[in-house]
């Protein structure tokens, strides 16, 4: 075995073991508490409602016909619940009564393994497409999973890392093109897009039409030929997702669109007098700014991803235009529909699927550098800042921001990044630096 393969294999083993041992033993927020409840209900009781689970205490739940359900898209919960139920029954049935075991195994399946998959896919992508040496490919790929916001969400049960793995797979498929086995590749593309929709319907309804438009532009002569194969890959998972949704809520659409029926239970924070970040009533312009460069700014928390926008050659790349359109449309969609910026999370967690895509162009530009000293200094600086901001999210992924919103004398000062910096500094008795934040 060559030295390069040994280095890559060792890095894979290191990454997998490191991430497994760092998985949290319990949920960090109502978000993953809700998802855990849905998984436990399937694994332990073989039912969709969470009434018999302690996770019923989560705020992220929906009520229908006097039963409560996880507010998260059901397909991932069902797949994880069924998988864990089968595995535990075969190995040790008593584990089905252990919430910690179910949470940790669910996180490994939905987060750790996809994150390692991202590492492997990205390594192969840049080493083959950009002709980067094995050692440099290992470094850039490790930075993607340990130096970006993907790392911040590597310990907790979410759908976003798995989304990022699927979106990266779509990107690679589009990059490689459809020459040879075009029908099979198009079916695979449809399947991957359907999984995106089932994991996060708000992201999927943006990514799917933009991808179809991209396919039409690039493969215009063969688009009509490809369309039936795309639908063949797309329809099965989408139909299954809507069947599960209907089984739970009696409707095909997300129940959050009908808060007065599904979210108006006693103690609900979603209707009536809103508190905390839900009570924010900022203008559309402010929301767009906060999603791009402000309190939850994609480019604030990931400044390294600004780099490709400084290079004119990238603007001419059709794939770069493709991911930029997804980003811009998704930002606008969230600004209109999602006033709370993503709950108590650190940074723009909903935008995690786009990080590997823009990072590919970062690596492309850094690899093609240029002996311009100022350019190199800028790149190194952005790498360092990007890592520091992502590490802050790793140590404080879910902050109790609602507490500050409810009890701070300045309720409009809502900035998780600064709060997190203050919390880290407090461990060194330096939090007085940010006392002005209260």
Q: What is the pLDDT of residue 402?
A: 62
- Considering only 4-18, 25-39, 264-278, 305-319, which range has the smallest mean pLDDT? 264-278
Does the structure show a pLDDT above 90 at 277?
A: no
- Quick one: which of 127, 60, 85, 323 has its CA closest to 207? 323
Does the structure show a pLDDT above 60 at 413?
A: no
d(CA 414, CA 277): 8
Does the structure show a pLDDT above 80 at 409?
A: no
Using alpha carbons, list the distances in angstroms from residue 237 to 8, 195, 199, 224, 362.
34, 7, 10, 22, 33
Check: pTM over 0.85? Answer yes or no.
yes
Does the structure show a pLDDT above 60 at 289?
A: yes
Using alpha carbons, list the distances in angstroms from residue 97 to 30, 45, 51, 74, 231.
21, 10, 15, 21, 41
Does the structure show a pLDDT above 90 at 342?
A: no
- Considering only 215-224, 237-246, 383-392, which range has the smallest mean pLDDT? 215-224
Over range 159-177, report the average pLDDT: 96
d(CA 135, CA 116): 17
Q: What is the pLDDT of residue 410?
A: 52
Selected residue with higher pLDDT from 68 and 344: 68
- Considering only 38-42, 120-124, 226-230, 258-262, which range has the smallest mean pLDDT? 258-262
- Quick one: which of 205, 123, 114 has its CA closest to 163? 114
Please write the tens of the pLDDT for every residue from 179-190: 878 889 999 999
- Categorize the per-residue pLDDT at 436 as very low, low, confident or very high, splitting at 50, 70 and 90: low
Q: Which of 2-6, 260-264, 383-387 holds the top average pLDDT?
A: 383-387
Over range 386-415, report the average pLDDT: 74
Helix (H, G, I), strand (E, B) or coil at 412: coil
DSSP letter string, 175-194: HH-SSSSHHHHHHHHHHHHH
Q: Average pLDDT over the chain, rounded to whole?
A: 89
- Quick one: which of 187, 293, 290 has its CA closest to 237? 187
Is-contact 211 200, C-beta < 8 A? no
Q: What is the pLDDT of residue 405?
A: 61
Q: What is the pLDDT of residue 5?
A: 83
Over range 385-403, report the average pLDDT: 85
Is-contact 157 55, C-beta < 8 A? no
d(CA 19, CA 432): 33
Q: What is the pLDDT of residue 203?
A: 95
Q: What is the pLDDT of residue 438?
A: 47
Domain extent listing, the chain:
3-437
Match 């009509």 to its residue by tokens. Answer: 224
Over range 55-66, report the average pLDDT: 91
- Considering only 268-272, 323-327, 410-414, which range has the smallest mean pLDDT? 410-414
Q: What is the pLDDT of residue 2?
A: 75
- Categorize the per-residue pLDDT at 230 as very low, low, confident or very high, splitting at 50, 70 and 90: very high
Does the structure show a pLDDT above 60 at 15?
A: yes
Over range 147-162, report the average pLDDT: 96
């Amino acid at each position: 075995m060559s030295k390069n393969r040994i280095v890559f294999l060792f890095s894979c083993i290191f990454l997998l073991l490191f991430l497994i041992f760092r998985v949290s033993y319990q949920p960090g927020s109502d978000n993953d508490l809700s998802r855990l409840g849905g998984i436990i209900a399937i694994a332990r009781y073989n039912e969709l409602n969470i009434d018999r689970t302690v996770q019923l205490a989560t705020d992220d739940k929906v009520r229908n016909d006097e039963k409560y359900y996880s507010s998260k898209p059901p397909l991932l919960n069902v797949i994880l619940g069924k998988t864990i139920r089968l595995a535990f029954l075969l190995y040790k049935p008593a584990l089905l009564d252990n919430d910690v075991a179910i949470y940790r195994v669910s996180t490994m399946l939905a987060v750790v393994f996809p994150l390692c998959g991202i590492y492997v896919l990205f390594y192969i992508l840049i080493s083959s497409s950009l002709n980067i040496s094995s050692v440099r490919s290992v470094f850039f790929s490790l930075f993607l999973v340990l130096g970006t916001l993907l790392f911040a969400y590597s310990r907790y049960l979410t759908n976003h890392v798995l989304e990022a793995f699927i979106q990266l797979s779509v990107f690679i498929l589009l990059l490689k093109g459809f020459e040879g086995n075009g029908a099979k590749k198009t079916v695979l593309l449809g399947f991957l897009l359907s999984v995106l929709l089932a994991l996060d319907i708000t992201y999927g309804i943006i990514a799917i039409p933009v991808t179809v438009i991209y396919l039409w532009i690039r493969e215009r002569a063969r688009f009509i030929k490809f369309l039936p194969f795309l639908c063949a890959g797309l329809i099965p998972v989408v139909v299954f997702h809507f069947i599960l949704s209907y089984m739970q809520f009696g409707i095909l659409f997300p129940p959050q669109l009908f808060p007065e029926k599904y979210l108006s239970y006693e103690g609900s924070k979603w209707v009536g007098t809103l508190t905390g970040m839900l009570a924010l009533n900022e203008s559309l312009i402010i929301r767009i700014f906060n999603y791009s460069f402000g309190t939850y700014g994609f480019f604030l928390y990931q400044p390294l991803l600004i780099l490709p926008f400084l290079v004119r050659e990238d603007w001419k790349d059709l794939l770069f235009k493709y991911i930029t359109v997804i980003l811009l449309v998704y930002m606008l969609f969230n600004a209109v529909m999602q006033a709370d910026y993503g709950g108590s999370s650190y940074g723009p967690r909903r935008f995690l699927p786009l990080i590997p895509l823009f990072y590919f162009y970062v690596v492309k530009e850094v690899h093609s550098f240029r002996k311009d000293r100022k350019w190199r200094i800028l790149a190194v600086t952005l790498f360092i800042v990007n890592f520091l901001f992502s590490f802050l999210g790793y140590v404080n992924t879910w902050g109790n921001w609602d507490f500050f919103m409810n009890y701070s004398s300045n309720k409009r000062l809502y900035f998780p990044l600064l709060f997190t910096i203050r919390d880290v500094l407090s461990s060194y008795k330096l939090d007085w630096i940010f006392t002005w934040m209260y």
